[in-house]
Copies of this chain bind each other. A is one copy, B any other.
Amino acid sequence: MRWRPGLRAAVILGMFLGMPGVPAAGGLGAESFVLANGMRVVAVPMERPGVVHHAVYYAFGAADDPPGQSGMAHFIEHLMFNGTASTEEGEYKQIIGRNGGSTNAYTAADVTAYYATIARDRLETVMRLEADRMTGVVFEADNFEAERQVILEERLQRTENSPSGLFREQLRAASWQAHPYGRPLIGWRHEIEALTQEQVEAYYRRHYGPTNALLVVAGDIDAESLRPLAERTFGAVPAVGEPVPQRPAEPPHRARVTVEMEDPRVVRPRWSRQYRAKGYFSGAERESATLDVLAAVLGGASGRLRRALVVDRKIALSAGAYFDGDSRDGGFFLVYAMPTDDTDIVDLEAAVNAELERVADDGVTQREVERAAYRFAAGEIYARDDVSGTADFVGRTLVKGGTLEDIDGYIALVRSITAADVVGAARNLLADPITITGILRPESAE
C-alpha cells in the first residue's frame, strides 16, 4: 500500500558506477519479449545464484476503481489469495512457503502487483500458480464476506485508528478535485462495505488477464531460459483483459487549501506544504529530475531544512522535502517540519519558506547540486540492492508507460541537472500560490 518510487531507483544502477564508497551495480541488461496472448515479459539478469524474484504488474490500480466502488483493486488483491479451481484458499501462500519462498502483493494508485521471491528451481511453480489465478480465482460468498471483514479491519488499523492515517486520507482528498487520486487506496469504508461479490467478480473477469499484465523476473534468469517457462504457463491463458476506462482528469486549481486536523492521540504537531508538480510520466522528465535534486538539496539528514531548522535554529525536531513525481498523472513537491514545543506553526512555516527563498534568491553551488544528487541516489541504492527492489522499479516504470530506455535516460538526466535548474525550480514553486498546506495538531488550538 506504500508509495514506492519507480524511476528513482534507476539512478542506482548507473549513476555511480565507479564512484568510491557507493556499491557499483551493473547496467540493467534487461530483455523484454511479448507472448502470443499480449502479455509482456521482462527478464532482469542479476548475480544472485539460485534466487529469482517473480512479479506480475497489472496496469491499473486504486485510481482505476470504478466511481463509488473505491477499494475494488485492493479487494481483488486480497481475493487473489483465496483459491482457484486447482488451489484451495491459502494454498498459494503455502506452496510458495513450502518451497522456501515468500510472497505478497500491493495495491498502488497506478498499479497492482503480485510477487514472490523463490529458489530458481521453483520458478515454474510460481509462474504456474500466478498464471492460474490471473483468470481462475473462484468467488465464493463466505470467502468474500470474510475477506471484507479482513479489509475493514486493515482499514481500521491503518486509517481510522491512526490520526496520521486519517489525516493523510483527508489531505489526499483535498489535493484532487476530479482525479481519483483523491480517494484512499484501500477505499472509503462505506464503499468497501457496499461492494458486492457480483461487482468485484465482474471487474476481475473484465480486466484481469494477460493483455493488462506485465511479468518481471529478476535474479538468476535470462530471457532465453525465461521464455519457454512463460510460454508454458502465462502463454496458456486466453488473451483476455479489457483496458480500464480512462480516468477523470484534474482541472486547474485556483485556490490555496489548508487542511487542519486535531486529535488527542497526536503527540506533536506536524506541518506540510504540497506544491503541485507534473511528474515524470506526465512528460515533465527534466522538471522531474530537477525536483528530485531540489528535494535532496533541501531534505535528508544533511539537507538545508534540517540544518537550518533542526541543527542551527532548533525550532524543529525534523524537517525535510520530498518529490512525489512517479505517479502517472502528476504529483507534488512536498516540504514538511515538526516544531519543537515552543515553536509556533506560523514561525515554522516562515522558516521553511525562508529556506526555499534562500535557494531561489541566493542560489546553490554546482558542488551542492552534485552532492545532493549523490545523496539522493545513495539513499536509494541501499534500500533497493536486491532482486525484489530491482524487479519492482522495472515493473512500475514499464507498466506506467515508461520504457527500459527511459530508465537509462533518467540517469543521464539527473546527472545533467545544474545549479541554475535547481534555482529555477525553487523559483517556480514559490511563484505558485496554489498550494495545499496540512496541519495536524495534538488538540484544538481554539
A residues with CB within 8 A of B: 67-68, 70, 166-167, 169-171, 173-174, 177-178, 182-183, 188-191, 245-249, 251, 253-262, 433, 444, 446
Name the residue among A67, A174, A254 with the largest chain B CB count within 10 angstroms. A254
**Complex contact B255–A256 (CB within 8 A):** no
Quick one: closest B residue to A170, CB to CB? B255
Q: Are A170 and B254 in contact (CB under 8 A)?
A: yes
A188-B178, A255-B259, A258-B260 in contact; A249/B68 too (CB < 8 A)?
yes
B248–A256 CB distance below 8 A: no
Query: Are B183 and A178 in contact, CB atoms less than 8 angstroms apart?
Result: yes
Q: Are B174 and A433 in contact (CB under 8 A)?
A: no
Residues of chain B contacted by A256 (CB below 8 angstroms)? 259-261
- Nearest CB on B from A205, distance (A): 20
Chain B residues closer than 8 Å to A189, beta-carbon distance: 251
Cross-interface CB contact of A433 among B245, B249, B446, cutoff 8 Å:
B446
Question: Whole-angstrom distance between the alpha carbons of A173 and B246 in the complex?
Answer: 21
Q: Are A254 and B68 in contact (CB under 8 A)?
A: no
Q: Are B177 and A173 in contact (CB under 8 A)?
A: yes
Closest to A258 in B: B258
Chain B residue at minimum C-beta to C-beta distance from A66: B67
Which one of B67, B169, B177, B254 contacts A182 once the chains associate, using CB atoms below 8 Å? B177
Beyond the given A255-B261, A257-B257, please list 5 additional residue pairs across the A-B interface where CB-CB is below 8 A.
Answer: A170-B253, A170-B254, A191-B251, A257-B258, A258-B258
Residues of B within 8 Å of A169, CB to CB, are 254
Cα A171 to Cα B253 with chains together (Å): 11
Q: Is the beta-carbon distance between B68 and A167 smaller than 8 angstroms?
A: no
- Known contacts A178-B183, A191-B248, A248-B191; A257/B254 CB under 8 A: no
Inside 8 A of A191's CB, which chain B residues have their CB? 178, 248-249, 251
Find A444's partner among B67, B68, B433 (CB 8 Å cutoff). B433
| Distance from A370 Cβ to chain B, minimum over Cβ atoms (Å) | 33
Q: Point out the residues of chain B lying under 8 angstroms from A247, CB to CB.
A: 68
Selected from B183, B188, B257, B444, the residue in CB contact (under 8 A) with A174 is B257
| A112 nearest CB across to chain B (Å) | 20
A253 CB contacts on chain B under 8 angstroms: 170
Residues of B within 8 A of A190 (CB): 249, 251
Assembled-state Cα–Cα distance A202/B260 (Å): 43
Q: Taking the nearest CB of chain B, how far is it from the CB of A427, in angstroms?
A: 15
**A248: nearest chain-B partner, CB-CB:** B68
Q: Considering the complex, give the chain B residue whose CB is closest to the CB of A70.
A: B178
